[in-house]
Amino acid sequence: MTDVRPAVSVDGPVESKVLHTLFHSEQGGHEQVVLCQDRESGLKAVIAIHSTALGPALGGTRFHAYASEKDPEEAAVLDALNLARGMSYKNALAGLEHGGGKAVIIGDPEQLKSEALLEAYGRFVASLGGRYVTACDVGTYVQDMDVVARTCRWVTGRSPENGGAGDSSVLTAFGVYQGMRASAKHLWGEPTLRGRKVGIAGVGKVGHHLVEHLLDDGAEVVITDVRSEAVERVRAAHPEVTAVPDTDALIRTEGLDVYAPCALGGALNDETVPVLTAKVVCGAANNQLAHPGVEKDLSDRGILYAPDYVVNSGGVIQVAEELHGFDFARAKAKAEKIYDTTLSIFERAVTDGVPPAVAADRIAEQRMADARRADRGDKSGKADRADAADRS
């Protein structure tokens, strides 16, 4: 295993973009960023810790190639920074005693993933001494976390056979559904999707569970996915579900009430927002807003946006519970509170005259600021007591 080093000596365009984001942008403010490399296994990874104000940083490990990007390594670091920051806000609003972090393993998991690579990655996570707790994300699964746990104790999302809670996508989907119920209550007066048309982009780990919640509630469901086998699996189980060719067709679907982005981020951008027919956006994908200002564009069009990091927090609630002796019923009860949290954000948005994304940020930032003040006060009190002891 090679040394773990802060990402402060990166050359070329990575330096100008990544370091600007880290040190000078409102999207920065991270406590620690670590670059990891193990030549023998082929591991290249970045671990970003945004905040530990509320407790150890908690967030998943993404395994992705960024093949469409001009500079995959640069894209991976920026993705880790954005995702880690999002986890701080997500964990704060979920009421967890955890800060935010995220890791990205760079490469195609179909070609690069191996037990040796995952074990090497686990050693890097372990080297942080518990400041970062990892779990599954895009490209990693329960069985992968079982392997990472061989070399690291700070791992959640493991299989039940290995002391874990299993697939966190179950409660992620449940939480998104609660967010949709809150959106329906706020906009239409009833906490149900019965008779509403809901479009889901991405019916993989989370999306296919969400389909079932919506059908049980009486919704009409339209789906799309870049993988035809994912669509076919849902259609085989639920022939009443309609499929469309791509996301562009989905967001333009006539009569769409709710749009649920459940794949990768950036789904809400300057091209998609103007043509979106839905009245509500509520989905599982992280970082749905492509850039600052999109939340205002949605609001100006009268589209209610349920902040992604609020409604998709069911998964992190599940894996956080694993650290304290997992009980599914207890975790589900906490995830059900996403309904109340989402409603309170909509109410705060109306009171403050801001988009819901801004209201959510304000609530999360207040909780983190309160925690930092309490921590400083506790440290100051300990110092005063120590001084008094020295004088006595």
Q: What φ, ψ does residue 21 adopt, rounded to 5°? A: -60, -45
Distance CA 169, CA 250 (A): 23
Is 102 designated active site? yes
Burial class of 190 by CB neighbour count within 10 A (0 to 12, 13 to 18, 19+): exposed
289 vs 127, 245, 265, 281, 295, CA distance in Å?
A: 33, 23, 7, 11, 7
Query: Element (H or E) spanning 231, and its range?
Result: helix 228-237
Closest CA to 308 of 274, 340, 262: 262
Give the active site residue among 102, 205, 279, 334: 102
Give the bridge partners for 386, in sequence order: none
Amino acid (one-letter) located at 306: A
Distance CA 49, CA 30 (A): 6
Distance CA 59, CA 154 (A): 11
Q: Where are the beta strands (DSSP E) in the chain?
A: 5-6, 32-38, 43-51, 57-58, 61-64, 99-106, 132-133, 197-201, 220-224, 242-243, 258-261, 280-281, 304-305
Catalytic residues: 102
